Amino acid sequence: MTSPFPPRPIPSTTLKELRGHDDAGAPMRPYPDDEGGAPLRCCLRSSTRGELIALVCYAPLRRWAAETDADPGAYDEQGPVFIHAEDCGGPAGESTGYPWARPGALRVLRRYDRRGRITGGRMLQLPDDPHAAFENALAEAFADPATDQVHVRAVEYGCFHFRVDRPRTPAAATPDR
């Protein structure tokens, strides 16, 4: 199943940096996952028991802004995310939907413009068909021409899950993207 709004994992260049020191300046502290089920932002899947993972501080909008010369100002935020402690190669194969999309889960979709400023948001309680709910909520977000990207976060902990960029047609693509 291919989505017009594919979720983006944390980029590999950023992961390499986070595995040294995270966005709060702390060194990575890897540990074996005793339980499994941690939402890994490097490959957009849940960890399995025994995998070597780390909880690091990540500032997604700050990092995006540094690449694009945007200025999110007060909208810059950082928070904890789980990653593999070593390179995992990212998502395996074609996306089969949105990660961590269990019915009943609460998600917030925050919309940002090209400058990194918030343009709106909405809360979404995932129904029995979470894929369709995400597709509809993202279509709604990108119906606003000011929306350049959407960050999906868990409501319970505020954790960043993934980013979705405005779909680009080849004619609309910009060289800096």
Residue 52 has pLDDT above 80, yes or no: yes
Residue 72 has pLDDT above 60, yes or no: yes
Q: What is the mean pLDDT of residues 118-131?
A: 95
pTM, full prediction: 0.88
Q: How many Cβ atoms from other residues are within 10 Å of residue 23's Cβ? A: 18
Residue 172 has pLDDT above 50, yes or no: no
* Strand ranges for the chain from DSSP E: 31-32, 39-40, 45-46, 52-58, 79-84, 106-112, 118-125, 149-154, 160-165
The pLDDT confidence band at residue 170, using thresholds 50, 70 and 90, is low
CA quadruple 122, 126, 127, 131: dihedral positive or negative? positive
Q: 3-class DSSP state for residue 64?
A: helix
